[in-house]
Amino acid sequence: MDSTRTAPRILVVGCGGIGGVLLSRLLESGRKVSAVARREEIAQVLRTRGPVLRDSRGERTVKGELEVFVQPPARGAYDFLLLATPPTGVEEAARDTAHLLAPGGAMAVLPNGLCEERVAAIVGEERVIGTIVAWGASSPATGVYEQTAVGGMVLGTLRGEKDARLERLAEVLRAVGPVDFTTNLRGARWSKLGINCAISTLGTVGGSRLGPLLRHRFIRELALDIFTEVVQVARAEGVKLEKVASSLGLDWLALSDSERHAWGSPSLVLKHAALLAVGLRYRRMRSSMLAAIERGREPPVDFLNGEVVRHARAHALAVPVNEQLLEAVHAMARRQLTPGVETLRHIHERTRPKGP
């Protein structure tokens, strides 16, 4: 940390998997961190014991200067509010904490989906920094945080302009992993949206970790169909897709008409091999959306596949795989559908193209 200037004041809003790993790593880097936990049980554990972090270095209890609130404080002046809530809670979090932004401060929007525009409607575009997370995390127990996949983060603004705050925020976030920048935040967000529509939602409906699921060819086919539908909608929206960190390019993963009816073309074989590699890399990743359903909470599928369906309807585009998965997750939340490989198999059978 650069001691020649005042360290930015940080407030982490949300102490689930992503927020917990963030605050743990920031504490380990020597930063003072404030956090909003929302639940007294979590706040009490963090105050008395501190967060427990599990990652490639093993498990340890993290010590440091941590201030934890259950509700946002009435007063304060933070340079960066790191919104690490689920997408379903990001607008409420922005409204509840907007008064805590210091002059020139910004909200870093971490949830998956297309949440920057939602937050900008509350605090203004100039106070929003898109923060795309390319790593995975979970909270298997109160105050325990596990990083389930490694990766970096990508920062950008809705206007695509240079902003000195981006580098200042990057200095903070490098405690977690590498940080890149983009002048095409919308394109990067749509690419990440496509990835999450596949990885998170297939993991939810399949009821398992990603690695075992992607060993099934028909599940890889579903993933490729999801990517294809997302690319079609993004193009209709006028979005130029951009790779996120080291992820695969969505444009490349999208299927051509011939590939959708082929079994073993060389290009299709390469795409299946790429998905097998993804399954190996993220084999421990378990969908946070599945965990939300298990805990009786609202799954954020409307902010993932639901966004694709909503935008597709505006352009009269058919996105049957995203529609079926959206319906399946809502049925699971109502306890009307059981997750599992066979549930995904039925969706695959209903959405495959018929005939040549």
In this structure, is residue 356 part of a structural domain? no
Q: What is the CATH number of the domain that holds 23?
A: 3.40.50.720
Averaged over 268-275, what is the pLDDT?
91
Tell me how many domains the chain contains. Answer: 2
Same domain, residue pair 176 and 260: no
Asked which of 163, 183, 203 is the last residue of a domain, the reply is 183
Asked which of 144, 159, 183 is the last residue of a domain, the reply is 183
pLDDT digits (tens, 9 = 90+) for 67-109: 999 999 999 999 999 999 999 999 999 999 999 999 999 999 9
Cα→Cα distances 225→11, 198, 248, Å? 39, 9, 15
pLDDT digits (tens, 9 = 90+) for 208-247: 988 899 999 999 999 999 999 999 999 999 999 998 765 6
Same domain, residue pair 166 and 265: no
Same domain, residue pair 26 and 158: yes
- φ, ψ dihedrals at 208, nearest 5°: -150, 175
Tokens encoding 197: 């529509």
> Domain of 295?
187-351
In this structure, is residue 237 part of a structural domain? yes
Q: Please give the model's pTM, rounded to 2 decimal places.
A: 0.88
Is residue 163 within a helix (H) or strand (E), and if so which, with residue range? none
Rg of the chain over CA atoms, in angstroms? 20
DSSP code, position 58: E
Buried b / exposed e over 85-105, threshold 16 CB at 10 Å, is bbbbbbbebbeebbebbeeeb
